[in-house]
Amino acid sequence: IDYMRVSAVNTNASDLAVREISSPLNALADHEATITYTVENRGANPAIGSWFDSLYLSSDNSWDPSDRLLARVRHTNDVPAGASYTQTVSARVRRVTPGDYHLLVASDVNNEVVELDNTNNDSSSPTLVHVVVPPLSLVPHFVDDFDGAEIDSTRWNTDLATSGKRWCSSTTELH
């Protein structure tokens, strides 16, 4: 018995492809970064419906589960064959260590659109994003005017082995 494998390919399907990514060269951890990307429909038919585009920071130029999700954007407009859309996103850079990262954009991440080719749905930025952690600034806070301020502070000493006694200290008002 000879078996023949038959595959159906819809050559009239749409084909979303990430064409361009513009990312900042530097980003501060826990601050907003602005990213612009363009997705085009290389297929013969329109991409119809809605889908999600996702943006990630990655240590390499391909997606894997360890990559940090920066933003997920819902796209709700049809994209005619040969047309494209450009999206600008402000995303907070969270939970990353300082270093250099690739910015990845993946269109139609949940495969909601019937497409000719899903392998071109993601792309990496041409330049790395250098993420830095802003310096920690410790600034003491002083109260300038104590007039009428009330402080209720009570401390109990319960170390009987050292002092032999139990004592209480309390301050309730400053003038």
End-to-end CA distance of the chain: 101
- Per-residue confidence (pLDDT) for residue 159, from 0 to 100: 46
**Is it the case that residue 28 has pLDDT exceeding 50?**
yes
Phi and psi (nearest 5°) for 161?
-65, -35
Residue 159: CB atoms within 10 A of its CB come to 10
**Is it the case that residue 175 has pLDDT exceeding 50?**
no
* Band of pLDDT at residue 76, cut at 50, 70 and 90: very high
Average pLDDT, stretch 60-66? 91
Can you read off the two tokens belonging to residue 91? 């995303």
Average pLDDT, stretch 89-108? 95
- Per-residue confidence (pLDDT) for residue 44, from 0 to 100: 94
Q: What digits encode the pLDDT tens for the residues 102-151? A: 999 999 999 999 998 999 999 999 999 999 987 777 776 555 555 555 55
Average pLDDT, stretch 93-101? 93
The DSSP H or E segment spanning 163 is: helix 160-163
- Per-residue confidence (pLDDT) for residue 173, from 0 to 100: 47
Region of poorest pLDDT, from 2-11, 73-82, 161-170? 161-170
How do 26-28 and 129-132 pair as beta strands?
Answer: parallel
CB 106 within 8 A of CB 1: no
Q: Express as a percent the part of the chain with pLDDT over 70.
A: 72
Average pLDDT, stretch 66-73? 96
Q: Fill in the DSSP letter of residue 140.
A: -
Provide CB contacts within 8 A for 169, sequence distance 6+.
154, 155
Task: Give CA–CA dist 117/24, Å, rounded.
Answer: 29
CB 118 within 8 A of CB 53: no
Can you read off the two tokens belonging to residue 9? 């390919």
SS3 for 69-114 is: EEEEEEECCCECCCCEEEEEEEEECCCCCCEEEEEEEECCCCCCCC
